[in-house]
Amino acid sequence: MSEPDPAYDAVRRDGVLRVSRPDAEWLSTGPNGGRRTADHAYNLSVPEGWERTDLAAYVGERLERAGFDPPGATRRGPALLTGVDIADARGACRGPVTVYATAGISNPAALPIERSSEATGRADGSDPDDLASDESACGQGLGTVNVVVGTTRALAPGALENLIAVAAEAKAATLLSETGFPGTTTDAIVVGHDPEGRSAEFSGSGTEVGGATRACVRDAVRASLRAHYADRDADAPDSVADATYGVSTDGRAAVFRPRLE
């Protein structure tokens, strides 16, 4: 089978994945996130025990070292950070969408759900401080599921933001099926579009862009999980207790009906 020719090309070097599309507009949920226009977006693998907090400076150092960012560059694209080896990155493309993912779950974020009418209707006023375990247990380890989505369409206002929701839903559904967890404590998503491309007003699951994004996220995340675990003859954790890091949101919120005026 011939190799695909993705509209958003990617290369990896020195622990950095660079995803490219000239003059793309990106929206990132990662460090120093938000919107920006740039030719590239990045996903960087960090070493075990990494504790840097000056993230912008660190990203600049890594990109320069990899030869992806000349000194003094002023229009740098968004960058995500992961504990997963960039060699485990996998891409998928369908129609107007290309997706790249790195997936590891040493730091799972479980969300137990009781399927009972009592749990559904209860307003017990649980302490919000009980929603997660001690933050010291939420380290990155060798985990994080990072997803970079790019479409050749020019998305209308709001549609790029909605594409993050579509990608997050597909990521959670895939991880639940493959691992039993909907995500990790450090997941992040970057979505990009081509402002000069053919216009698309919507990006929901029933649209061409949304449907392609769902398929690509599912297949890229599954492929990266296989590379990270099966190809190394390693096992993903079966529970938060078995994981190196992680949290379980075991507390309950107070449920109420909005006030009628």
pTM for this structure?
Answer: 0.89
Q: What is residue 20's three-state secondary structure?
A: strand
Query: How crowded is residue 3: how many other Cβ atoms within 10 Å of its Cβ?
Result: 5
Contact present, 200 and 212 (Cβ < 8 Å): no
What's the rounded Cα separation, in Å, for the pair 21 and 8? 5
How many percent of the chain have pLDDT more than 70? 87
- Calculate mean pLDDT across residues 211-220: 98
CA-angle at 32, arms to 103 and 71, nearest 5°: 100
What's the rounded Cα separation, in Å, for the pair 117 and 108? 27
Q: What is the DSSP letter of 231?
A: G
With a CB cutoff of 8 Å and minimum separation 6, the contacts of 240 are 108, 110, 246, 247, 248
pLDDT per position as a tens digit, 129-142: 443 444 334 444 45
What's the rounded Cα separation, in Å, for the pair 55 and 32? 8
- The amino acid that residue 237 corresponds to is P
- The mean pLDDT value of the chain amounts to 89
How many percent of the chain have pLDDT more than 90? 76
Per-residue pLDDT, 116: 55
What's the rounded Cα separation, in Å, for the pair 123 and 229? 41
Tokens of 21: 């599309």
Residue with tokens 């912008």: 56
Give the 3-state DSSP-derived string for 111-168, with helices as H, strands as E and coil as C: CCCCCCHHHHHCCCCCCHHHHCCCHHHCCCCCCEEEEEEEECCEECCCHHHHHHHHHH
- Calculate mean pLDDT across residues 53-74: 85
Outline where the chain has alpha helix (H): 55-65, 117-121, 159-179, 208-228
